Amino acid sequence: MKQTFLALLIIIAASGIAAAKSLQVKDLPAAVQKTVQDTLKGAAIKNISKEVEKGVTQYEVETMLNGKHRDFNVDAAGKLLVVEEEVDIAGIPAAARAAIEKKVAGGKLGMVETVTKGDGVTLYEAAYTSKTGKKGAILVKADGSETKD
């Protein structure tokens, strides 16, 4: 019994160590702090995490603005990489909306987001559950063509 309890404690402790530490704005490099403050636009910060994606260290800032998700990533030098903003599907271009609706047909539409890259390119992403219960996501350009990135 003692061994089981000890093993359980070790597992719990190890999982706590492995969990990503949530950061605060004051923990970020100065250039990143400035970009975060400039990009918040009144949003409330829910979480900040540091990650490495495609070899680039970046900070993901998860926020809520007017009851909607608005997340963005900033690189270590303070460059804004991407902004993902929850929107109503009716507010996206007709061709993008049609492509998403066609993909979801018969299933259930989840969150729809605009994905604005640092270079100004805007894409539209939607999560969905198919009629067979399989979860998926689709990313499209304004013209409705699917893209991976």
pLDDT tens for residues 52-98?
988 989 999 999 999 999 999 999 999 999 999 999 999 999 999 99
Residue 46, pLDDT > 90, answer yes
pTM of the model: 0.79
The rounded mean pLDDT for the chain is 87
**Other Cβ atoms closer than 10 A to 143:** 9
What DSSP assignment string belongs to 83-103? Answer: EEEEE-GGGS-HHHHHHHHHH
135-140 vs 56-65, strand pairing mode: unpaired
Q: Do 45 and 62 meet the contact criterion of CB atoms below 8 Å apart?
A: yes
Residue 122, pLDDT > 80, answer yes
